[in-house]
Chains A and B, each alone.
Chain A
Amino acid sequence: GAGVSQTPSNKVTEKGKYVELRCDPISGHTALYWYRQSLGQGPEFLIYFQGTGAADDSGLPNDRFFAVRPEGSVSTLKIQRTERGDSAVYLCASSRDGNSNEQYFGPGTRLTVT
């Protein structure tokens, strides 16, 4: 079956602009995670959804970052007033449910803020 997909694969935006990054999890997976990965670093946890609700958003760096998952499937990560420091690869992962430790990652969206 299809894996986790993310769009766009690359996004270049100007400082101060608003961006939306999309994640399509594996069908039937109720748990969804967003991570941010900078060059030479491991993924950094941002937020976890169980179904439609954000069960843990402790990794969001500030209130410019927000994520939604209105129907419990597709999720959108939204970044307002982008800054150059937001440049990174944004990864999405899904798992069967919140008790499953096996996370399946998408290919990521490379965000560049100029």
Chain B
Amino acid sequence: EDQVTQSPEALRLQEGESSSLNCSYTVSGLRGLFWYRQDPGKGPEFLFTLYSAGEEKEKERLKATLTKKESFLHITAPKPEDSATYLCAVQGGGYQKVTFGTGTKLQVIP
């Protein structure tokens, strides 16, 4: 069974203080690893898909990286508007089921 573990559960940063969120996973034949952002009371918002170890993707202050066992979401010089819960998910080969982690709740203090 696919598993996703995210750490830390919560992270509090000062504005401008860079950090990384971790996503460890086990999956049978990785089809894709996804990062989503979720604001309170809203559905998840797609950020990135990573397909193979060594791949990296960037969007504004966010950069996602992937190894065979984990993914990192690096946040550079965060701003208060980056405050949200960040979800990691995986999809194995041959099926459509997507397994999510429990998320990291990020708070960026001005």
Contact = CB atoms under 8 A, between A and B. Distances in A.
A21 interface: no
Nearest to B97: A45
Contacts of B45: 105
A50 B96 CA distance: 10
Given A42-B89, A93-B43, A102-B46, 18 more contacts: A4-B43, A31-B96, A33-B98, A40-B102, A43-B44, A43-B87, A44-B100, A45-B97, A45-B98, A45-B100, A55-B96, A58-B97, A91-B43, A101-B31, A103-B46, A105-B44, A105-B46, A108-B43
A14 B68 CA distance: 46
A48 B44 contact: no
How many interface residues does chain B have, given as a range? 20 to 34
A101 B34 contact: yes
Interface string B80-99: 00000001010100011111
A51 interface: no
13 contacts: A4-B43, A41-B102, A42-B102, A45-B99, A48-B96, A50-B96, A56-B95, A56-B97, A58-B97, A91-B44, A93-B43, A102-B46, A108-B43
Given A104-B46, A106-B43, A42 B96 contact: no
B41 A107 contact: yes
Interface string B3-46: 01000000000000000000000000001101010000111111
Contact of B91 (A40, A43, A101): A101
A98 B45 CA distance: 18
